[in-house]
Amino acid sequence: MLSWIDKDTEIYCSFAEKAGNTGCQMMNTAFYYHGLNKIYKSFSVRNIEDAVNAVLTLGIKGFAITMPYKVQVLKYVHDLEDSVKKIGAANTVLNTNGRLKAYNTDAYAATKFLDEYDNRKKLYIIGNGGYSRAVQYSAKQCRFDFRVITRDDWDELKDIRKSIVYNCTPVEIEEKIDQSNDYINCLTYSNTGIELANLQASKQFELYTGLEFPL
């Protein structure tokens, strides 16, 4: 599958506190589908500044950022796409001749996803990290009345009824949610998480290649 790797192969990657395989599988499959001389690799990193410096040193063409670096990474890039300026977090960075520009494809996915829900319902956004910031931005775009619930207030979850609950944390909370609610789970083993991952990856792939995501 990767037999064409050579000195001209362009490298893309992701940085996380704990690397996973989902992005690798999706992006490498899409690169292969289009016959592109590109590869994608996930890395576990302890210091995002060092990771960004490695991108510049090695000429890596682009990278994704996951928890807990989506806010912190903004200190180490040169330019911000407009939505990133409003959100205050990014999950995608492109390297163009040594100049790094940050984007947020989480917001793209969340907006597309929330647009399918009734915005007359109250939206509860669980968590307040980098991903939650993107969802809050999307909620405003979709004209939802929303409230952010942090871990300190999780006892309130049991009292929510007939609303939309959007879990933006790495912790499963479904057992705390009344079944009268619509539950959106960002975790990629869930049906909603898979759909969100596909939506954000499609935008990310478009940024990386200018091509349509095939999956």
Annotated active-site positions, please?
70
Q: Rounded CA gap, 147 and 165, in Å?
A: 10
Beta strand 10-16 pairing with 62-65 = parallel
Tokens representing residue 49 in the block: 């500044």
Q: What is the DSSP letter of 7?
A: T
* Residue 199: how many other CB atoms lie within 10 Å: 19
Terminal-residue alpha carbon distance, the chain: 17
Contact 33, 204 (CB under 8 A): no
DSSP class per residue in 32-83: HHHT-SEEEEEEE-S-HHHHHHHHHHHT--EEEE-TT-TTGGGGG-SEE-HH
Which segments of 129-180 are extended strands (E)?
146-149, 164-167
